[in-house]
Structure 1
Amino acid sequence: MADKSLNRTELVAAVASESGQSQAAVSGVVDAFFSVVSKSVADGTKVTIPGWIAFEKTHRAARTGRNPQTGEALEIAASDSVKVSAGSKLKAAVK
């Protein structure tokens, strides 16, 4: 795994530097982007930025699992989750 990480503050500063915009403006855009993505995915809409990334709501059916310590069977409730897929441009950028 990568030892480096880019937190939100560093991301906002980097985008502001690249675009020539203020950090306040970029921060507002980042907040709005994630707000729109989260609302859309919660409503069941797939959000795609072609070539870069896709966000999609998935459903996991209820199932029977096992407690690894006791071996006892237990019911795992159905749940919704989010699938995030990297696009071709993002995959090519990390090669």
Structure 2
Amino acid sequence: MALTKNDIVTRVNDLGFTQKKSAEVVESLLEIIKRCLAEGEDLLVSGFGKFCVKTKRPRRGRNPATGEDLILDQRRVVTFKCSGKLRDKIN
């Protein structure tokens, strides 16, 4: 089962914050992360990992329904590389 935003708010709430303040803190943190990535900046969280924005080149694709060839536009994707500390903790 995946950890949801509501689960994170509940865990922050367990640290002594009110439910409303916990929700604000989590939402603010996620907005900062989204804004940083939208601007094309990398995001490094020490001991956790690094989020990078990479640009994918245009490429050939195929419509699976019709079999028609087409060109997929250039796009940006977010990648994540976990830190050594996180990798050690997982393993």
TM-score range, shorter chain: 0.7 to 0.9
Work out the CA distance in 1 between the residues paired with 2:60 and 2:4.
Answer: 37
Segments of structure 2 that go 5 or more residues without pairing to the other structure are none
Work out the CA distance in 2 between the residues paired with 1:57 and 1:91.
Answer: 21
Segments of structure 1 that go 5 or more residues without pairing to the other structure are none
Identical-pair percentage: 25
Residue type at the aligned position of 2:69? A
Alignment of 1:7-86 (within 5 A): 7-17=4-14, 19-68=15-64, 71-86=67-82
Question: How many angstroms does 1:93 deviate by?
Answer: 2.1
CA 1:87–1:23 in 2, change beyond 3 Å: closer, same or farther? farther
Work out the CA distance in 2 between the residues paired with 1:86 and 1:70.
Answer: 39
**TM-score, normalized by length of structure 2?**
0.82
Aligned residues: 91
Work out the CA distance in 2 between the residues paired with 1:24 and 1:53.
Answer: 28
- Relative to structure 2, which stretch is displaced further, 30-39 or 65-74? 65-74
Question: How many angstroms does 1:56 deviate by?
Answer: 1.6
CA contact (8 A) 2:58 2:73 kept: yes
Residue type at the aligned position of 1:80? R
